[in-house]
Structures are given as structure tokens and as C-alpha cells.
Amino acid sequence: MAFAPMGPEASFFEVLDRHRESLLAALRRGGQEPPSGGSRVASSSEVLVSIENIIQDIITSLARNEAPAFTIDNRSSWENIKFEDSVGLQMVSHCTTRKIKSDSPKSVKKFALILKILSMIYKLVQSNTYATKRDIYYTDSQLFGNQTVVDNIINDISCMLKVSRRSLHILSTSKGLIAGNLRYIEEDGTKVNCTCGATAIAVPSNIQGIRNLVTDAKFVLIVEKDATFQRLLDDNFCNKLSPCIMITGKGVPDLNTRLLVKKLWDTFHVPVFTLVDADPHGIEIMCIYKYGSMSMSFEAHHLTVPAIRWLGLLPSDLKRLNVPKDSLIPLTNRDQMKLDSILRRPYVTCQPFWRKEMEIMADSKMKAEIQALTFLSSDYLSRVYLPNKLKFGGWI
């Protein structure tokens, strides 16, 4: 096929290939379960009918002289979340709910805003047009107050209707980047080639619409931070370890970056690794890619990739590589609280090696950024650390 860059000799990938075989064997043993519950890709007519039913319920309440209310699943409580190793964090089928009442001073504005955005969604679906969350915010920025209000309401509506955000004809602006051994065609027919150069390709805003994906990649590397991603690009990492794919969500990943990682896994089943800072924030970001988040647990089946492995930076690497203490950063109280929170989460019980790494961090009371490796040499990350980890199976 296909891709010009020449990487290391075939023997370099032997451990990676065995890892892929074990992942495929696990899939065959478990069977690929179809999504059950949660959100789904619904047809336009289904979405329209669902919204019409909600409006009909409001009219019925008014006819009875009752104050209308929206009933929304409570996505902020761990009581409503269950964990399955094959899926990640997902909502329980009979979870507690909260009422958004039209006669309560505390919630009447939110009731009105939900109704307004439902009306906008109805028009979008009916006319087969799309809008971004930002577009919706700017239709009346004074009324909404800030973008977060719009984002939360759209998630509430998606959860309430049990359909994906894409089915609501609402798109997110992508902030993520992708580079490496990948080609695909976008919904409008644009051909995209991500082969690594000095620049990367923006993650598409419509992941569902991309098709004809082609790759020879042996692995996908998710990089937490844009600065590290750009440094690896500058070091020609993709070509030196070709064939591979690199992705960054530039910190906490947006929906489209998570959807793309999921699509690559579902399509090619190549090993996926994360490269994050050895700190609680980096671990949190890795957990979002692998197991999902509480707030988006109703979309877990479309977003999570439990096969992801932690490649680095491991807290145990800091001692192994003799990273000097002046390159480390003391944990703050906030860091400690975040670390304690992660250690209490249900998925940590099935990840004893992760727990051990987090306990090393907790005991040392120190954290480190990936840049701490530059004390060894400026290109140590791309020239030594990552190649050795990938060649010899240094992931957990």
C-alpha cells in the first residue's frame, strides 16, 4: 500500500504483535457484545417523535393545572454508575432521577432553557441541518450566560432522549490532532492523509461520517498534551516507529477525539497506548479514554476503549531512570484529593498494577511531567524511552 515512511525492522514489533493477539483472543472469548441501554444512533423521525412526546406531556400537565417538569437521570452520583471491565463506566438501568420543575424558582430558568434548546434541535433535525454547541450558545449568549450551561443542557437532553448527540444534529468543535499511518474519506468526500510531517491533521468534527479508513499501524499512541505531541512530531517519531498513529486531545479530550479513538479500535483492533504525565491529572485523562467519565456514562458504549494500556510516564519509571528530585514536583492538596478519588473508583480493583503505580506516587508525594525526561537528553523520550517501552512491552 501505501505509506512511504519506513520504520524499524519487523522484529521490533514482535511483543506488540503478541499483545495484539492477546487482545483479539480476549475479544473472541468475550464476544463483541452489542450496545445495551444508554444512548444510540436514532433516526431523525425517532428523535422528532421523542421531542413531540415530551411537548405533549407538558401540554397534558398544563391541561391538568399541574406544573410541567422534566425528569432527567442523575449523572452526578456514583450510585447511578456501574462498572464493567468490557465497557467501562455506564449508567444503571434504574437510576435515581432529578426533576427540573417549571414552578420552582431554582429550576424555572433551566426548564425554559431546555425547552428552548429542544425547539432548536427539533428545527435542526426537521430541516436535516447541523449546528455546533457554540452556534447554539451564540443564538442568545446573554440568555445562556456561558457555554458550559449549553453543554450541560445538551448532555441532559441526549441522556433524557436516550440518543447520541450526533442524532440531535449537534456537533462539537474538535480540538484534537491526529498524525501518522492513516487515510480516510470525510463525509463530504474530502480525502485525508495523516502521514506524519511537521504538522498534524485536526480531528474531524463528524467522526460518524468518516469512511474508508486505511492503515497499517502497529499501534496507536494517545499523547496527553499538545506540547509533547508537537515535540514527537518534531523528532519525526511517527516515521521512526512507522507504521503507527499518534493522537492528542490536548488535555482532557473532547467528544470527537474520544469517538475517533473508539472508531480506530473498533475498526482495526490495534493496541492503543497512553502517554500522560505521572500525576493525578494525567491518570484521570487516561481513565477517561479507557473507562469513560461519570458525566458521559450514558454514552459509554460509543466512547470507551477498555483495551487501552498505560505506557508512560509511570511513577516507577522516575526511580528506575534516576530522575533527579529537582525535576519532580510536590503533590498539592488538590492532587492528593484527586489521587484518593481515583483510588476509590470501581475500575481500580481490576487494575492492581495501576494501583501500585498510584501508591508509589502517593508514598513519594511527588509527581512529574513527561518533560522531566529531558534531563537525560533532549530527545530521550522519542529516541530511547518510547522505543524501548514499545519493543519490550513496558506497559500496564
Q: State the catalytic residues.
A: 138
Largest CA distance in the chain: 75
The answer to whether the CB of 280 falls within 8 A of the CB of 338 is: yes
The answer to whether the CB of 136 falls within 8 A of the CB of 117 is: yes
292: number of Cβ within 10 Å: 27
Residue with cell 490532532: 177
**What does the H/E/C string look like for the chain?**
CCCCCCCCCHHHHHHHHHHHHHHHHHHHHHCCCCCCCCCCCCCHHHHHHHHHHHHHHHHHHHHCCCCCEEEEECCCCHHHEEEECCCEEEECCCCCEEEEECCCCCCHHHHHHHHHHHHHHHHHHHHCCCEEHHHHHHHCHHHHCCHHHHHHHHHHHHHHHCCCCHHHCEECCCCCEEEECCEEECCCCCEEECCCCCCCEECCCCHHHCEEEECCCCCEEEECCHHHHHHHHHCCHHHHCCCCEEEECCCCCCHHHHHHHHHHHHHHCCCEEEECCECHHHHHHHHHHHHCCCCCHHHHHHHCCCCCEEEECCHHHHHHCCCCHHHCEECCHHHHHHHHHHHCCHHHHHCHHHHHHHHHHHHHCEEECHHHHHHCCCCHHHHHHHHHHHHHCCCC
50: number of Cβ within 10 Å: 19
The answer to whether the CB of 196 falls within 8 A of the CB of 223 is: no
